[in-house]
Amino acid sequence: MNYKADFHNHSCLSPCAGIEMGPITLVNRAKSLGIKILGLTDHNSARNTPAFEYLAKESGILPLCGVEVTTSEEIHVLCFFPTSGEALDFGNLIEKALPRIPLNHEKMGEQWVVNKDEEILEEVDFYLGTATSYGIDQVEKLCHDLGGLFIPAHIDRPTSSLKSQLGYIPQLNYDGFEIQLSPEGLNTGITPLVKGSDAHHPDMVGQRTCEIDLPQLSWEALVAYFQSFSRV
């Protein structure tokens, strides 16, 4: 069966997203658009994945608990995990690899951690929007060691992408690539392409989606889907 998927969304934890982008808003908006596979990928942190995971499951949506990691080369990479547990473990490692640049609300934005009722639990007080000290190869290893899916983000974008930062695709174990600008017809033939909204505001959720054919709606079926492609 074909399921509508949106792999790439931010919540109020990302400095570039507002407080209105809570997990309830994200999940409700996705539900109303018929999205059944939904990614939460905040910048360099997974602290909002527990609330997101609970709410998505309640709405019959497969939650993709993820992180959008900024590698030392300033390449954005989406890493997804079976549950918020692994996502939080991964997020902790990623946060530790960030420089401690104090968060400046006026210039950088806000970074709220919330629960499933969208009550504020804490704010991350160092800036999440900058680069970690991990190179892309190290991020791939950390992600796969925790059973994750490793998908470089918006590879066709002129900034913060494999294309803009390296200009070539290094030999790594990619599970897929996220494309943003390319037409639907683009096909690598070997590595699956996915789409995501990169939503920072509620209106942006669902602006870019793709269809994924799975025997049932589960993490295991999704992993099997990615593994059914031969790799680069």
Cα 181 off chain centre by: 17
d(CA 107, CA 138): 30
Chain positions 167 to 226 lying near other proteins, rule: CB under 8 A, are: none
Which one of the spans 76-84, 97-105, 140-148, 207-215 is the region binding other proteins (CB under 8 A)? Answer: 97-105
- Rg of the chain's alpha carbons, rounded to an integer? 16
Whether the Cβ atoms of residue 3 and residue 202 lie closer than 8 Å to each other:
no
Min. distance of Cβ 131 from other proteins in angstroms? Answer: 4
Q: What is the C-alpha to C-alpha distance for residues 149 and 152, in angstroms, rounded to an integer?
A: 10
CA distance 221 to 102: 41
Minimum distance from residue 2 beta carbon to other proteins (Å): 36
Region of residue 43 (left: phi > 0; alpha: psi -120 to 50; beta: else): beta
Binding mask of the shown chain, residues 75 to 94, with x at each position contacting other proteins by CB under 8 A = --------------------
Residue 34, judged by CB atoms within 10 A of its CB (0-12, 13-18, 19+), counts as: exposed
Smallest distance from other proteins to CB 107, Å: 6
Helix 136-145 vs helix 84-96: angle between axes, to the nearest 10 degrees?
150
Which lies closer to other proteins via its Cβ, residue 130 or residue 182? 130
Contact positions with other proteins (CB under 8 A) in 123-142: 130-131
CB of 108 or CB of 221, closer to other proteins: 108
Least Cβ distance, residue 162 to other proteins (angstroms): 15
* Identity of the residue numbered 89: D
- Taking the complex as a whole, the smallest distance from the CB of residue 216 to other proteins amounts, in Å, to 41
Please tell me the distance from the alpha carbon of residue 116 to that of residue 137, in angstroms, as a whole number: 34
Per rule CB under 8 A, is residue 159 in the interface with other proteins? yes
Taking the least distance from each CB to other proteins, the nearer of 56 and 94 is 94
Q: What letter does residue 204 receive in the DSSP assignment?
A: G
Tokens of 19: 């407080």
- Which of 99, 186, 187, 218 is in the footprint of other proteins by CB under 8 A? 99
- Is residue 104 close enough to count as binding other proteins by CB under 8 A? yes
For the record, the structure tokens of 74 come out as 């300033």
Q: Does 111 sit near other proteins (CB under 8 A)?
A: no
Q: Which one among 32, 57, 101, 122 touches other proteins, defined by CB under 8 A?
A: 101
Kindly state whether residue 70 participates in binding other proteins, applying the rule CB under 8 A.
yes
Binding residues (CB under 8 A) for other proteins: these are 70, 74, 99, 101, 104, 107-108, 130-131, 158-159
